[in-house]
Amino acid sequence: MNEPRHLDTAATEQSAQASTNDPATTPHAGAIGRLVLLRHGQTVWSESGQHTGRTNIPLTAVGERQAAEAGARIREQFPEGFDEECVFASPLKRAQQTARLAGFTPRSLPQIAEWDYGRAEGRTRQTVAALHGAPWDVWRDGPGALQPEMGGDWTETLPGGEQVPVHNGPGETLDDVYERVAQAIDVAVPLLESGRSVLFVAHAHVLRILTARWLGVDPHFARLLRLDTAHYSVLSVYKGDRVIERWNC
């Protein structure tokens, strides 16, 4: 497997200077391309409901098949394809695998890594609530509400025998992620304004939060968006406004 290519810092800083993600309008709307968001395929934890932030777990066999099928759907919708410099993926294994199995060669973009769930990482919502001693919701409470005693590192053995390290640190707030994805939009905007479409391959929560940022609405709006494994969505500009063109396809 090819090593992921990282977007260089200078390019990120240069695109950040051209940021237009506040307010939720974009110049040259008539020529702007589309921003396509693809969630990675199935993993063991996406099925079990364990919070999967920065833990680097692979796709299941089902997830691999889903990724290939998603690539076919995207190519049907975008027969012109994507320029190589317009395809980005989270550096995490499941996103990189999905991008390649879908037929793309991505550049690695850390700003679209999944939400760092901190002390909820690797645990279901029910397990977190039991350890926390009270109901807990990632959107309402965030990782910061969890006691430091819930932190620590361990090794998880996946059904296939692969061992993956799990880290439970302080994590990120919703606002942290909302600010981080603004940088990803900054990377995409110059490419979109050149009339080219851009593909981001990443994760459910971060892509939903990025969508809220694209629209210029409160980040909590993202919890109302459903994005299934290996499904894609399309963001675009319509009559000068940033919009959701297609969702969960």
Residue-wise pLDDT tens digits, 176-229: 999 999 999 999 999 999 999 999 999 999 999 999 999 999 999 999 999 999
Q: Beta strands 198-202 and 87-89: pairing type?
A: parallel
Say which of 51, 114, 193, 231 is annotated catalytic: 114
Q: Which residues are annotated as a binding site for substrate?
A: 52-53, 94
Annotated catalytic, 40? Answer: yes
Q: Detail the residues annotated as belonging to a binding site.
A: 52-53, 94
pLDDT of residue 31: 76
Q: Which one-letter amino acid corresponds to residue 3?
A: E
**Tens digit of each residue's pLDDT (9 = 90 or more) over 4-17:** 333 433 334 444 44
Cis peptide before 170 (omega within 30 of 0): no
76-108 pLDDT tens trace: 999 999 999 999 999 999 999 999 999 999 999
Cα 97 from chain centre: 14
Q: What is the pLDDT of residue 14?
A: 40
The yes-or-no verdict on residue 69 having pLDDT over 50 is yes
Catalytic position from the list 6, 13, 28, 40? 40
Banded model confidence at residue 171, pLDDT cuts 50, 70, 90: very high
Where does the pLDDT of residue 30 fall: very low under 50, low under 70, confident under 90, or very high at 90 and above? Answer: low
pLDDT value of position 197: 98
Helix axis angle, 204-215 relative to 174-193, nearest 10°? 70
Domains, the chain, in order of start with CATH, read 5-117+173-246 (3.40.50.1240)
Q: Mark whether 114 is an active-site residue.
A: yes
Query: H or E stretch including 167?
Result: strand 163-168
Determine the Cα–Cα distance for residues 150 and 169; give it in Å rounded to an integer. 9
Q: How confident is the model at residue 149 (pLDDT cuts 50, 70, 90)?
A: very high
Residues 117-127: tens digit of each pLDDT:
999 999 999 99
User: Which of 28-37, 90-99, 125-134 is predicted with the least confidence, judged by mean pLDDT?
Assistant: 28-37
Q: Give the pTM.
A: 0.88
